[in-house]
Structure 1
Amino acid sequence: MPPLSLKGRALRLLSGREYSRAELEKRLQSYEEEPGSLALALDDLQSKGFISEQRVLESVVHRRASKLGASRIRQELHSKGLAPEAVAQAVDQLRATELERAKEVWRKKFAEPALDPAGRAKQMRFLAARGFGGDTIRRVVAGDDD
């Protein structure tokens, strides 16, 4: 069986999940035999709609929003090499629902408010590790419902 072409390898990766162009370049760089052939293959796939930065953005937001805060999702989107303007816009939309999402993550893990400062600190660290903002964390742990 002959080895897969760069385009074939890219399509195999894309069949599993959405990848940004930068991610595909990083993963397929070691298979490039002629300089510039990877860029040509990715250009072709992008022109045919197989690579879409918008779909990658939507996919990450959809998969991760129920578990993570806006800052953690922003970090993940930046690591995928997406356009900073698109990332900023997605993060702004996420911030609108940050409090509700944080409450749900907190409720799944803890269910009831901590009775002592050590317990509150543990709950705050838990939410902070998931990328929720400080103000949101304080409101959730304090039990503010307004």
Structure 2
Amino acid sequence: MPAPSGTERASSPRDDAIRLLARREYSRAELEQRLSLRGHPAEAVDACLDELTVEGLQSDVRFAESFLRSRVARGQGPLKVRAELERRGIERTLIATTLAGAEQEGEVDWFELAAEALSRRFTHPGESPRERARRERFLASRGFGFEQIRHALERLDAVE
């Protein structure tokens, strides 16, 4: 980002953070990284993010829930969602709480989601071991665990 000229006013970390949050939810770690890249001092960024959290404008809980809903809509499994949330700086305990809460409230059934993802991609069961392995790799790449993959394959086999 170019340095501000004499007629431009440098933006504050808060202004930049509000602009970012107006578009979508961000984790604290993502905001911290983006604000640092814009040249804001680390102390000012931390203070700003603390204020935004107290005011309820930034929330890792809200970010994790929103992120989970978006990934479920894409047909992604819990392993991939967990890895992505960790990569975005969300604490493991919060990730576990968010995933467990979504399951308990009936927002997501990972077994059904795996079966739906498989049936959208493949219309018939894999006849050969090679085809079955292809379907397993597809679900594994989507972030589903062994039990979820097995359930989805059995469901697709039962349709035939």
TM-score with structure 2 setting the length: 0.81
Counterpart of 1:87, as a letter, is I
RMSD: 1.9
How many equivalent pairs are there? Answer: 145
The whole-number CA distance in structure 2 between the counterparts of 1:35 and 1:92 is 34
SS of residue matched to 2:51:
helix
Tell whether 2:91 aligns with 1:83. yes
Instruction: Indicate the larger mover: 124-133 or 47-56.
Output: 47-56
State percent identity of aligned pairs. 34
Write out per-residue CA displacement over residues 64-107 of structure 1, whole angstroms, 9 at most, x where no aligned residue.
01311111111111112122212112233456711101011111
The corresponding residue for 2:70 is 63
Match among 84, 96, 111 for residue 99 of structure 1: 111
The corresponding residue for 2:139 is 127
Name structure 2 gaps, 5 residues minimum.
Answer: 1-7
Q: Residues 69, 30 of structure 1: CA spacing in aligned structure 2 closer, same or farther, 3 A cutoff? A: same
Q: Which has the larger radius of gyration?
A: 2
Counterpart of 2:130, as a letter, is A
Counterpart of 1:136, as a letter, is Q
The whole-number CA distance in structure 2 between the counterparts of 1:10 and 1:27 is 9
Q: Residues 85, 73 of structure 1: CA spacing in aligned structure 2 closer, same or farther, 3 A cutoff? A: same
Check conservation: 1:20, 1:80, Cα contact below 8 A: yes
SS of residue matched to 1:81:
coil
TM-score with structure 1 setting the length: 0.89
Check conservation: 2:14, 2:48, Cα contact below 8 A: yes
Match among 32, 38, 43 for residue 36 of structure 1: 43
Write out per-residue CA displacement over residues 10-40 of structure 1, whole angstroms, 9 at most, x where no aligned residue.
1111111101111111111133444511111
Check conservation: 2:13, 2:40, Cα contact below 8 A: no
The corresponding residue for 1:110 is 122
Q: Residues 50, 106 of structure 1: CA spacing in aligned structure 2 closer, same or farther, 3 A cutoff? A: same
Q: Any residues of structure 2 matched to 1:4-19 within 5 Å, and which?
A: 4-19=11-26
Instruction: Indicate the larger mover: 28-37 or 68-77.
Output: 28-37
